[in-house]
């Protein structure tokens, strides 16, 4: 399975200069890939483009040769750094999770989610607790590619290991693609088979 970004360029409407320029990126599901770059270099924007969250850009993104769907469930799922920004504050956590799929109890346990959390609102949980839900929500059985944008930043060191182990187990079981974006080079070097440096593929002036 291949996720390919071809000749991707992007700039914000109010900006004169491109933040991403003529990027070609190739990802497949046979290895875990890391994406590394300086703060503000456009990593998150590229992740949003590759997962269909940003649709106005120059270039093309394809999954197995087909463009990503404009509506409905996207088989490329993005885990954001700040989960509280992508959850409806008026929904309890069982609805937040159920919006994506019905998660089995064993997975709730694997990700350290207590049943009592399901009846709480997002603002009643910590950032780390919310991120567990965010990760699980992205692991819908229809997901073919997972992009994690600094997903462990909100977690303590022990929880980082637990969550990443659980994610990697599912990625391998389902033969999913996995792109990990992180500033933590020790983490990247430990779990990634290949590393892409954004500065090497971004042709901005």
User: What confidence score (pLDDT) does residue 82 get?
Assistant: 86
The dihedral sign for the CA sequence 39, 42, 46, 49: positive
Please provide residue 115's backbone torsions phi and psi, each rounded to the nearest 5 degrees: -60, -35
User: What confidence score (pLDDT) does residue 121 get?
Assistant: 97
Name the one residue in this structure whose structure tokens are 């937040």: 96
User: What confidence score (pLDDT) does residue 84 get?
Assistant: 86
User: What confidence score (pLDDT) does residue 86 get?
Assistant: 86
User: What confidence score (pLDDT) does residue 198 get?
Assistant: 96
- Cα(187)–Cα(195) distance, rounded to whole angstroms? 11
- Cα(6)–Cα(24) distance, rounded to whole angstroms? 5
pTM of the model as a whole: 0.92
User: What confidence score (pLDDT) does residue 91 get?
Assistant: 96
Residue pLDDT tens, the chain, 205 long: 999 999 999 999 888 899 999 999 999 999 999 999 998 899 999 999 999 999 999 999 999 999 999 888 999 999 988 888 889 999 999 999 999 999 999 999 989 999 999 999 999 999 889 989 999 999 999 999 999 998 887 678 888 888 888 899 999 999 999 999 998 898 899 999 999 999 999 999 7
User: What confidence score (pLDDT) does residue 205 get?
Assistant: 74
- Cα(48)–Cα(61) distance, rounded to whole angstroms? 11
Strands of the sheet containing 58-63, edge to edge, are: 20-28, 2-10, 58-63, 66-67
């Amino acid at each position: 399975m291949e996720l390919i970004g071809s000749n991707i360029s992007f700039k914000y409407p109010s900006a004169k200069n491109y933040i991403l320029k003529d990027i070609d990126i190739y990802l497949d599901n046979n290895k875990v890939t890391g994406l590394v770059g300086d703060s503000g270099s456009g990593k998150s924007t590229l992740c949003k483009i590759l997962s269909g969250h940003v649709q106005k850009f120059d270039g093309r993104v394809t999954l197995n040769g087909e463009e990503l769907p404009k509506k409905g469930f996207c088989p490329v799922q993005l885990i954001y750094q700040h989960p509280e920004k992508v959850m409806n504050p008026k929904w309890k956590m069982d609805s937040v999770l159920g919006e994506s799929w019905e998660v089995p109890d064993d997975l709730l346990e694997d990700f350290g989610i207590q049943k009592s959390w399901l009846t709480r609102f997002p603002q009643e949980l910590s950032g780390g607790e919310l991120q567990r839900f965010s990760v699980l929500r992205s692991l819908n059985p229809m997901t073919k590619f997972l992009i994690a944008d600094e997903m462990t930043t909100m977690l303590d060191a022990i929880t980082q290991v637990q969550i990443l182990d659980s994610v990697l187990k599912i990625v391998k079981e389902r033969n999913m693609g996995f792109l990990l974006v992180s500033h933590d080079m020790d983490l990247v070097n430990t779990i990634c088979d290949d590393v892409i440096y954004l500065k090497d593929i971004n042709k901005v002036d």
